Structure 1
Amino acid sequence: MTENKAQALPKTTEEAQAKESAQPQLEGPLQTEHGTTTIAESVVQKLAGIAAREVPGVYAMGTAARRAINSLSERIPGSQTNVSGGVSVEKGERQAAIDVSIVVEYGVAIADVAEDIRRSVIQAVEHGTSLEVIEVNVNVTDIHLPEDDDDAASDRSDRLE
């Protein structure tokens, strides 16, 4: 009687394994029985960049060098605004980690702006891509002072005269 039970268990296990291999394992909304959806890192970068720019208190995205390059490229007729500047992404099949570099407006609470950015980026990326955002790191590279606008305006008027 003990031999019959021992012989029956492997057969049951083999049947279970055969059943499992016959049915594909669906891992989430991006992998279905009808196919797989892949999302490029640039898509995640753009979604995160747009979401971060919409947060009150964010003056600009990126480091000083990135902003200089963007301002030059925006002067070229027909060029597009770089919405992914200041955003870097590490993306796997189901998860993403995002780093955002920003310039904040003078007078805002940086911790509050950073938290608002995290909330906005996570919502935009998870809703738009179905990827799980495991972290959003916010790097504040500068503070924009009101005098900076006055200096830039006077520089432009000096050049026009």
Structure 2
Amino acid sequence: MPSKFTSEYGNIVIDEDVIAQISGIIAMECYGIVGMAARNVKDGIVHLLKGDSLTRGVAVRLNENNVSIDFHIVVEYGTKISAVADNLMSTVKYKVKDILGIDVEHIKIFIEGVRVDKE
């Protein structure tokens, strides 16, 4: 169910995939996040997703006036998970509201793994 807005110029429709893509890009800019994760339900193995498939690690649910977003992420080893999660939540809420004009009601974060980032 896409998000619909009406302005003086006409109707605006924003698809859930667009919200997921923007949210995934925002999440990847946050400190401590190595990548988005896709879980293979059959064998429970977590796969780190590349840039083109970020939306597989993000689930979006649209309500009447707001959106709920679930993130499946892999964090960098040595970072404080609560700080990463707080940063992710506040950044996504602010930027989604700023970019799309949609309020984010709930954010759920699932830490699917920890990775040592070799530079």
**What TM-score do the two structures reach when normalised by structure 2?**
0.80
Secondary structure of the structure 2 residue equivalent to 1:90: strand
Match runs of 1:12-161 below 5 Å: 30-65=5-40, 67=47, 70=49, 81-145=52-116
Kept in 1, the 8 Å contact 2:57–2:72? The answer is yes
Q: Percent identity?
A: 26
Secondary structure of the structure 2 residue equivalent to 1:62: strand
* Bigger mean CA deviation after superposition, 40-49 or 30-39: 30-39
Q: Distance in 2 between matches of 1:83 and 1:143?
A: 17
- Structure 1 unaligned runs (5+)? 1-28, 72-79, 150-161
Q: CA deviation at 1:67?
A: 2.7
- Structure 2 unaligned runs (5+)? 41-45
Kept in 2, the 8 Å contact 1:58–1:113? The answer is yes
**What TM-score do the two structures reach when normalised by structure 1?**
0.61
Kept in 1, the 8 Å contact 2:38–2:56? The answer is no
Higher relative contact order (CA 8 A, sep 6+): 2
Kept in 2, the 8 Å contact 1:56–1:113? The answer is yes
Flag the structure with higher helix content. 1
Q: CA deviation at 1:93?
A: 4.0
Flag the structure with higher strand content. 2
The structure with the larger Rg is 1
